[in-house]
Amino acid sequence: MTGIRPVLGRMFTPVRLDDPTPTSLTRGGALAVTGLVAQGVLRFATSWLVGRLAGEAELGVVASAIAAATILALLWPTSTGSAASKFLARARGAGSIDQTRSVAAHLRRRMLLAVLVLAAAAIPVWVYLDGGSLTGALAVALLTIGYSGYSFTRGVQFGTGQTLRATGWDVLCVALGLVTLTLMLLSGVRGVALVLPLAVAYGVYALAGWPFGGGGKPEPARRREMDGFVALGAVGSLASAGFLQLSQIVTRLVSGDEGAGVYAAAVALATPASMLAVSLSLVLLPALSETLGRADEEAFRSRTDQANRSLAVVVVAIFGTIALCSRLLIRVVWGDAYAGAAPILAVLAVAVLFTTLGVVAVNAMTARSQRGMAINVAASLTGMAVGAGVWFVVAPSLGGIGVAAGYLAGTLVIAGVPVAVVWRTCRQRWGGLYARVALALGLLVLLHEMQERFDLTLWLDPVAAVGFVAVWLVLNRADAARLPRPRLPGRS
Looking at the fold, whether 308 and 169 belong to one and the same domain comes out as no
- Alpha-carbon Rg for the chain in angstroms: 22
Looking at the fold, whether 13 and 147 belong to one and the same domain comes out as yes
pLDDT of residue 453: 85
Looking at the fold, whether 333 and 430 belong to one and the same domain comes out as yes
Nearest CA among 357, 400, 371 for reference residue 266: 400
Looking at the fold, whether 272 and 228 belong to one and the same domain comes out as no
Q: Does some domain include residue 492? A: no
In degrees, rounded to 5, the angle at the alpha carbon of residue 355 between the alpha carbons of residues 354 and 359 is 115
Within 13 Å, how many C-alpha atoms sit on residue 430's CB side?
Answer: 29
Query: Residue 101: CB partners within 8 Å, gap ≥ 6?
Result: 17, 18, 213, 214, 215, 216
Question: How do residues 434-445 score in pLDDT, each as one tens digit?
Answer: 999 999 999 999
Q: What element of type H or E holds 169?
A: helix 163-186
Looking at the fold, whether 214 and 288 belong to one and the same domain comes out as no
Q: Which residue has the higher pLDDT, 285 or 328?
A: 328
Looking at the fold, whether 235 and 268 belong to one and the same domain comes out as no
Q: How many distinct structural domains can be found in the chain?
A: 2
Q: How many CB atoms lie within 10 A of CB 182?
A: 13
Looking at the fold, whether 223 and 283 belong to one and the same domain comes out as no
Distance CA 302, CA 453 (A): 44
Looking at the fold, whether 265 and 214 belong to one and the same domain comes out as no
Distance CA 44, CA 264 (A): 10
pLDDT of residue 55: 83
455 CB-contact burial (10 Å; exposed 0-12 / middle 13-18 / buried 19+): exposed
Question: How do residues 251-299 score in pLDDT, each as one tens digit?
Answer: 998 999 899 999 999 999 998 767 666 666 556 656 666 666 666 677 7
Q: Does some domain include residue 37? A: yes
Looking at the fold, whether 293 and 193 belong to one and the same domain comes out as no
Distance CA 71, CA 83 (A): 18
Q: What is the pTM of this model?
A: 0.81
26: left (phi over 0), alpha (psi -120 to 50) or beta: alpha
In terms of residue numbers, what domain contains 69?
1-239
Q: Which of 192, 209, 239 is the last residue of a domain?
A: 239
Q: Does some domain include residue 490? A: no
Looking at the fold, whether 290 and 172 belong to one and the same domain comes out as no
Q: Which residue has the higher pLDDT, 427 or 197?
A: 197
Question: How do residues 232-246 score in pLDDT, each as one tens digit?
Answer: 888 878 887 789 999
Question: CA-based diameter of the chain, in Å?
Answer: 67
Distance CA 405, CA 470 (A): 27
State the pLDDT confidence band at 461, using cuts at 50, 70 and 90. Answer: very high
State the pLDDT confidence band at 320, using cuts at 50, 70 and 90. Answer: very high
Q: Does some domain include residue 146? A: yes
Q: Does some domain include residue 23? A: yes
Distance CA 131, CA 65 (A): 13
Answer positive or negative: Cα dihedral of 185, 186, 187, 188: positive
Looking at the fold, whether 346 and 445 belong to one and the same domain comes out as yes
Looking at the fold, whether 277 and 179 belong to one and the same domain comes out as no
